[in-house]
Amino acid sequence: MIEKMLLEIIEQLQDADASFKSLEEPWGDTTSATGRFVMTFLRIGGV
C-alpha cells in the first residue's frame, strides 16, 4: 500500500515537471535513467 502511494506521488511530481530523489535509496531517483527504469518497472509490476 505504501509503495502504491509513493508511486502515485512520484507520478504527480512528474506531471508537474518535478523529480523525486530519495536520500536513502539509490533506486528512488527519477533524475537518473536507472531510477526512471525502476519506477517504470514497479508500475508495470503492479506494486
pLDDT in tens, 23-42: 998 888 888 888 888 888 88
Alpha helices per DSSP H over the chain: 2-15, 33-45
If phi > 0 it is left, if psi is from -120 to 50 it is alpha, else beta; for residue 32 that is beta
State the pLDDT confidence band at 46, using cuts at 50, 70 and 90. Answer: low
- CA separation, residue 45 to residues 7, 21, 24 (Å): 12, 21, 22
Contact 46, 7 (CB under 8 A): no
3-class secondary-structure state, position 31: coil
**pTM for the model:** 0.65
In this prediction, residue 35 carries a pLDDT of 85
In this prediction, residue 47 carries a pLDDT of 59
